[in-house]
Amino acid sequence: MKVAVFAGDGIGLEVTREAVRVLQALDLPGLTLMEGDVGGVAYKKHGHPLPEATLETARAADAILFGAVGDFDCDNLERHLRPEQAILGLRKAMGFFANLRPATVFKGLEDLTSLRPEVARQIDLLIVRELNGDVYFGEKGIRTLPDGRRQGWDIMSYAEDEVARIAHVAFKAAQGRRGKLCSVDKANVLETFQLWRDVMIEVSREYPDVELSHMYVDNAAMQLVKNPGQFDVIVTGNMFGDILSDQASMCVGSIGLLASASLAEGTCGLYEPIHGSAPDIAGKGLANPMATILSAAMMLRHSFGREAEAARIEAAVAKALADGIKGGDLGGSHGTAEIGDAVLARL
Ligand code: NAD
Ligand code: IPM
Ligand code: MN
């Protein structure tokens, strides 16, 4: 169980520290932690956001626990040197194409979400976000047109095999849940997503026990706040999944609660909170580490088959929340380390 811990920038450092404490408290035989620099920190130390040494550590690991990257000091660097390239580069280099972002409302938080409690109470959904393609990884640039105007451009595309492999992940996830899959696209405007929809329908023939539906992304954004209880599994592209998962986080209370797993064909996975480096609260001990702690639980489940320990961590987080342990993101006053202590005590 070799785990690479890449804390990164801003609150990444603070939240991974708590997740590591939780992992260590489980006393798992064979658990080895390895560290590596990523993001702005890595750029400042080594001149690259994803140094070769870090990539080697990732390749040697059985799983990666990732904090966050992003540093406003670095926002004017050439794109390939910006902190975000660390996470994008890891996803691509390691083939992490399937991003699972579950959102469930915790007991005791029904009144603290951005929705009415009777609406929030219904939420138990999983966003399956494609993570290796879309407009994120197409050619891009800023060019000057013949008339002298600058033009920014980014190519959006999905090949059929890229859609099919994320479809299989999503259909299988739905089989293990309530058997409902909603594919979110923009097939009414974009050819990329017409092909996406066609392939979803083709793959659905192999899963007669799953009920497939389709929704345009604008409607999906609306339905997610109107009636989120209608969703079981949502499958969507890289960019739509990025946006809808941040939105889903507020439907259950806070972005500080949403964990994620990024999976490849093999068992190695990358586990990270869905949030970023939160420069506005970094270094103050105010960040909610629960999303990262829950990501560590996903790691135990998906990379190490340790369901019992994963469930123990999740129960400890749920109990802490039910007992009123809340950071500023949920209107409480507990700090990062205090939340970590509270989860450890309940573990
Ligand atoms: P963000 O997720 O970092 O922060 C958005 C808001 O949510 C902020 O007000 C922040 O304080 C709050 N927040 C986030 N996580 C929290 C937590 N655990 N506890 C309490 N509050 C929390 O998004 P942003 O401000 O748009 O981006 C900041 C930087 O992070 C950017 O450089 C961006 O590119 C990067 N980013 C990185 C990742 C990643 O590493 N996977 C994800 C998203 C954004
Ligand atoms: C996320 C982040 C990343 C993304 C950024 C930092 C590249 O927002 O993990 O959700 O857009 O995928
Ligand atoms: Mn995001």
Residue 82: which of 91, 92, 94, 72 has the closest Cα?
Answer: 72
- Evaluate if residue 267 carries a pLDDT over 90: no
Atom of ligand 2 nearest to the CA of 99: 9
Q: Which residues pair with 65 in a beta bridge?
A: 5, 271
Residue 204: which of 230, 237, 170, 238 has the closest Cα?
Answer: 170
Q: What is the pTM of this model?
A: 0.98
Distance 115 CA to ligand 1 centre (A): 21
Q: Please check whether residues 232 and 269 belong to one and the same domain.
A: no
Residue in 72, 247, 277 to alter for ligand 1 test, most ligand atoms within 8 A of Cβ: 277
Is 246 among the residues known to form the active site?
yes
DSSP string of 301-347, one letter each residue: HHTT--HHHHHHHHHHHHHHHHTT---GGGT----HHHHHHHHHHH-
Instruction: Write down which residue in 214, 244, 261 finishes a domain.
Output: 261
The confidence score (pLDDT) of residue 266 equals 86
Q: Please check whether residues 281 and 255 belong to one and the same domain.
A: no
Residues with CB under 6 A from ligand 1: 11, 15, 68-70, 84, 87, 255-256, 272, 275-281, 287-288, 291, 327, 329
Q: Please check whether residues 330 and 275 belong to one and the same domain.
A: yes
Catalytic residue among 158, 186, 319, 329: 186
Q: Please check whether residues 91 and 103 belong to one and the same domain.
A: no
- Evaluate if residue 94 carries a pLDDT over 90: yes
The confidence score (pLDDT) of residue 139 equals 97
Atom of ligand 2 nearest to the CA of 88: 7
Residue 140: which of 122, 118, 161, 155 has the closest Cα?
Answer: 155
Helices 307-322 + 336-346 axis angle, to 10: 120
Q: pLDDT tens across 138-171, in order?
A: 999 999 999 999 999 999 999 999 999 999 999 9
Q: Please check whether residues 187 and 88 belong to one and the same domain.
A: no
Helix spans in the chain (H): 11-25, 40-46, 52-60, 84-93, 117-120, 160-175, 191-204, 217-226, 238-251, 290-302, 307-322, 336-346
Atom of ligand 2 nearest to the CA of 239: 11
Distance 147 CA to ligand 2 centre (A): 35
Distance 242 CA to ligand 2 centre (A): 7
Q: pLDDT tens across 103-118, in order?
A: 999 999 999 999 999 9
**Residue 116: exposed, middle, or buried by beta-carbon count in 10 A (0-12, 13-18, 19+)?**
exposed
Instruction: Write down which residue in 234, 261, 288 finishes a domain.
Output: 261
Q: Please check whether residues 288 and 305 belong to one and the same domain.
A: yes
Catalytic residue among 71, 134, 232, 242: 242
Under a CB-based contact definition with an 8 Å cutoff, are residues 271 and 63 in contact?
A: yes
Q: Please check whether residues 116 and 90 belong to one and the same domain.
A: no
Which tokens go with 337?
A: 């380390």
Take atom 22 of ligand 1 and give the residue whose Cα is closest.
256
Distance 275 CA to ligand 1 centre (A): 5
Contacts of 56 (CB under 8 A, 6+ apart): none
> What domain range is 165 assigned to?
98-261
Atom of ligand 2 nearest to the CA of 260: 9
Compute the distance between CA of residue 315 and CA of residue 93 in angstroms, rounded to an integer: 34
Q: Please check whether residues 224 and 144 belong to one and the same domain.
A: yes
Q: Please check whether residues 193 and 250 belong to one and the same domain.
A: yes
Compute the distance between CA of residue 187 and CA of residue 201 in angstroms, rounded to an integer: 13
Contacts of 54 (CB under 8 A, 6+ apart): 6, 36, 37, 38, 42, 86
Q: Please check whether residues 276 and 144 belong to one and the same domain.
A: no
Catalytic residue among 2, 44, 246, 341: 246
How many domains does one find in the chain? 2
The confidence score (pLDDT) of residue 133 equals 98
Instruction: Write down which residue in 233, 261, 289 finishes a domain.
Output: 261
Atom of ligand 1 nearest to the CA of 289: 18
Write out the E strands in 55-139: 63-68, 98-104, 124-130
Which tokens go with 300?
A: 């135990």
Under a CB-based contact definition with an 8 Å cutoff, are residues 14 and 29 in contact?
A: no
Q: How far is the first Cα of the chain from the last one, in angstroms, to the nearest whole number?
A: 20
CATH number of the domain where residue 242 is located: 3.40.718.10
Is 242 among the residues known to form the active site?
yes
Q: How far is CA 95 from CA 256, 261, 311, in A?
A: 26, 13, 27
The confidence score (pLDDT) of residue 192 equals 98
Q: pLDDT tens across 290-309, in order?
A: 999 999 999 999 999 999 99
Residues with CB under 6 A from ligand 2: 84, 87-88, 242, 274, 276
Chain centre to alpha carbon of residue 344: 23
Q: Please check whether residues 257 and 270 belong to one and the same domain.
A: no
Residue in 77, 129, 255, 284 to alter for ligand 1 test, most ligand atoms within 8 A of Cβ: 255
Q: Please check whether residues 230 and 310 belong to one and the same domain.
A: no
Which residue is associated with the tokens 């972005």? Answer: 255
Percentage of the chain beyond pLDDT 70 is 100
**Residue 205: exposed, middle, or buried by beta-carbon count in 10 A (0-12, 13-18, 19+)?**
exposed
Distance 29 CA to ligand 3 centre (A): 34
Is 218 among the residues known to form the active site?
yes
